[in-house]
Structure 1
Amino acid sequence: MPLELHPLEEADVPIFTDIMWESFTYDGGVMGLMYPNGYSQEAREHSMQRTLKSWRKYPDRIKKMKVIDTSLPENDKYKKIVGVADWLFYPHERTAEEIEAESAEGKEDGPPPGGDAALMQDFFGALGKVGREYHGTQPLVRLHILATLPEHHRRGVGAMQMRWGFAEADKLGLAVWLEGSPIGTPLYKRHGFETVGWLDWDARKWGSEKDVPHAIMVRPAKKL
């Protein structure tokens, strides 16, 4: 099989950023609403710097993975990377103050150039509310990002990423949480996630032509 899973490297961050854009704007994805005038080079640089800053600061917490397709040509624009994932590991209970400090760190660099700051504040504020209301300070694993190039959907890329994350979570005996988009939710259900609620956020309020419901999902803890 030409698909292989590997740890993401710092040199891959530009491609990581581009795959996120392609994935999260596909079929009305929310990232297209966040950047109504497109993803400028300035916005892209802002995203890459934020990604590197947090990853370097918290290497034990943040684990980034990539799936490559070895059958693609050497001049492939994504260097044969067809999907990426970003996992957050919290093996110990955190205080409310620690969670708030992490949230504040994420805002230190300000809104990205060309982004809809009000929409982002609304969307990410809703995500923060999920944490407070559903899992609080408990230890957990969070699948923060799972992005596959649309032309490589239905090839098992996401499943490969999840198998790795589940194995790591099971070693720790922790549940895995995520917020699933309409495209991702069926995949997550097939791999054992349960829907426990819905993100309190209205895409139509921000110009979307359709609802973009995000499911709050958990894969219960399993101990080896």
Structure 2
Amino acid sequence: MPLELHPLVEADLEAYDEIMKEAFSGEIFQLMYPSAYTAADRDHYLAKSLRQWRKHPDTIKKMKVVDTDLPDTDPLNKIIGVADWNFYPRERTPEELKAADEEGKDDGFAPHANVAFMEHFFGLLGESKKKILGGKPYIYLHILVTHPKHHRRGVGKMQLQWGIEQAEKLGLPLYLESSPMGRPLYERVGFETLDWLPFDAKQWGLDHDLPHALMLRPAKGGQGQ
């Protein structure tokens, strides 16, 4: 199969954003950008992402899966899936955790973002991570997406295998949030559901729940394990 896994590079960021938009076009994305996701919103997001990536290259690892059979003229640089990993290989103090939270707020929000929803939803994600892991060392799978046209080709599995290899080299647990649809993939590679995000979608105008599983793959391997 002509699929290859490589580190993402800065020139790939627009393709990265396009794949994210295609993959996250569902209800959460609609709550985040209820009126529109415009070029100005994209530019804000990409600039913020690039600043953080350049500032914390040892923490933020962006990966891509490319299909080498796609033509050189492919508008997405042959990229069919992307992943964002955050590495926290040492214990962090409460002060360091607070500083990281504050840094994430420095760039504000995109022009058409639903600020109230984003503060609420991402606040819940952050508080859940702190409750489960605190300042302990771990690796966080922040984003794992495959372009909808390339589902069921093993793209997510390739990305996960890379992350698992890194975690086992370092002897660290892996943490992520998952929709019910994604849970079976994660369970097959050793993730366990610890809890569910306390998010009430009906509070934001939906007539049904949008559950998110909080999942952990325990530490294995590594020196001292």
Q: C-alpha separation between the residues in 2 aligned to 1:110 and 1:167? A: 35
Candidates 203, 213, 217, aligned match of 2:211: 213
| Cα shift at 1:150 | 1.1
Q: C-alpha separation between the residues in 1 aligned to 2:184 and 2:39? A: 33
Deviating 4+ runs (over 6 angstroms): none
What pairs up with 1:127-142 in 2 under 5 angstroms?
127-142=125-140
| Cα shift at 1:209 | 4.5
SS at match of 1:13: helix
SS at match of 2:105: coil
What pairs up with 1:38-187 in 2 under 5 angstroms?
38-187=36-185
Query: TM-score with structure 1 length normalisation?
Result: 0.95
Q: Does 1:15 align with 2:15?
A: yes
* 8 A Cα contact 1:194 1:219, kept in partner: yes
| Cα shift at 1:13 | 0.9
Deviations 1:1-48 (A, max 9, x none): 1110000000111111111111112xx341222011221001000110
Q: Please, which runs of 5 or more residues in structure 1 have no aligned partner?
A: none
| Cα shift at 1:192 | 1.3
Deviations 1:90-129 (A, max 9, x none): 1100011111111111111111110100000110110111
Query: TM-score with structure 2 length normalisation?
Result: 0.95
* 8 A Cα contact 1:33 1:208, kept in partner: no
Q: C-alpha separation between the residues in 1 aligned to 2:197 and 2:150? A: 27
Q: C-alpha separation between the residues in 2 aligned to 1:35 and 1:152? A: 25
Deviations 1:46-94 (A, max 9, x none): 1100110000000011100000011112222212100000000011000
Q: C-alpha separation between the residues in 1 aligned to 2:41 and 2:80? A: 22
Deviations 1:120-176 (A, max 9, x none): 011011011112211101000000110111111111000000111111111110000
C-alpha root-mean-square deviation of aligned residues, in Å?
Answer: 1.2
Q: Which moved more, 1:124-133 or 1:47-56?
A: 124-133
SS at match of 1:143: strand
